[in-house]
Amino acid sequence: MSAAACISSFPPPPMAAAAAPAPETTIDVFVVAQPHAGDRRRRQKVQHRSVSCEGDVVAGGGRTVRRPRAVARTLECERRVVGEGFAVRRGIGRKELDSLDPFISLDEFEFSPPAGFHDHPHRGFENVTYMLEGGFSYHDFSGHKGTINTGDVQWMTAGRGVVHAEMPGGHGVQRGINLWINLSSKDKMVEPRYQELASHDIPAAERDGVSVKVIAGEALGARSPLQTRTPALCLDVAMRPGARLRAPVPPGWSACSYVIDGEAVFGDEAAAAGAHTCVVFGGGGDGVAARATERSAARFLLVAAPPHGEAVVKDGPFVMNTREEVEQARDDYRNRRNGFEMAAGWSSDHVATAAAAH
C-alpha cells in the first residue's frame, strides 16, 4: 500500500510554496469522562500551550508542555496471517507488550471474504473499531446492525454482555484499527452501548501542517461527542513533511502512538518510526512531542487513558478481574443469562446468509 493511498482518506494539508521550517503546533486537550445514568459526572480539563520558541503557535493558556515524554519502547508490528482472508499487525497484546493498562490490545487488521467473525460474545471492555479502508458489517442480538466505512468509527461498550457478528463490508481488502480498552471493575457489568460516528461527523481541526481528527476527547478546539466509560484521548493525526506537534497528556496516563503511514520522530529520539510501528511513551513528562521527517508526511493514531491499576484476566472474548469472573461469563453465555438473555434463539443475518449460500 503506497503512502498516498494510506493517507488519502485523511490527507495532510498542502505544502506551502516556501521552504520555511514548519512551526511547531501545540494542541489544547480536554478529556472528559462522560456522564452516564447513575454515575456522578467526572470531568478532567487539561489545557496547555506551546513552549516559548520562535515559530510556535500558542493554542491556549495553562500549563506548558516543557518536558515531552520519552519513548519507552518501539515495537515493529509485522503482518501475520491468521487464517484465510485475515491478517493482523499487533502493537499491544503481544508477547513483548501484553497490555498497557487500560489498553488490552491494539491491532491494525485487514480482512476480506471469506474471513469474518460469526456470532460471538464479549464482556468487560470497550471495543473501538476505526476503519482506514473499506468497511465492515455487524449485527448484534439486540437488533443493532449496519456497516461502518472508510473513516468511520464504532465505539462499543460491551459491559455485561454483547453477542454479535462482524463481517467484511465489501469485496477486496478491508483495513482498520481495532482497540480494546479495559473497563474498571465497577463498570464491568454496565449495560452495553454502541456509539458510531461517520467520517464526516468526526470533529476535525487543522493548524500549520497538522490535521487532527478527534475520535475521543478534544484537541484544537474540536471535541468528540463520544461518551467513553474510561476517560480517553484518541486522535488521528496527519502531518505534512517537517511539521511538528506537542500534545499534552495528563500525568499518570498511559499513552502510545501507532504509525499508520509515513514516518515520524517522537520525543527526543534520533530515529524515525515508520509505518506499522507502535511507540510506547514513558510516564514522565507532561505531553507527547512528534514531528514528521522532511522527506515524508506522517499519519499516526495517538491514544491515552488513565490506568485502572486492577488485576486483569483476559480469555478469548472476555476481559475480567479474576479467573472466576471469566468462568462466570462463559457460564452466563452458555446458559443465556446475566446479560446474554437475548442470545437465546438468536442468530445474525450473516449466519443466515452463509447458510443460504450453502
For residue 5, pLDDT beyond 90: no
pLDDT of residue 64: 63
Pick from 254, 256, 249, 195: which is nearest to 44 by CA?
249
Pick from 107, 114, 128: which is nearest to 168 by CA?
114
Residue with cell 454515575: 39
> What are the pLDDT digits (tens) for 125-172?
999 999 999 999 999 999 999 999 999 999 999 999 999 999 999 888
Give the span between the Cα atoms of 262 and 110, in whole angstroms. 19
> What distances in angstroms separate CA 324 from CA 212, 331, 341, one per listed residue?
42, 10, 20
| DSSP class per residue in 215-255 | EESEETTEE-----SS--EEEEEEE-TT-EEEEE--TT-EE
For residue 53, pLDDT beyond 90: no
pLDDT of residue 316: 94
Pick from 76, 166, 138, 122: which is nearest to 340 by CA?
122
Give the span between the Cα atoms of 166 and 177, in whole angstroms. 14
Q: Which domains does the chain have, with CATH numbers?
A: 59-356 (2.60.120.10)
**What predicted TM-score, i.e. pTM, was given to this entire model?**
0.84
With H, G, I as helix, E, B as strand and everything else as coil, classify residue 122. strand
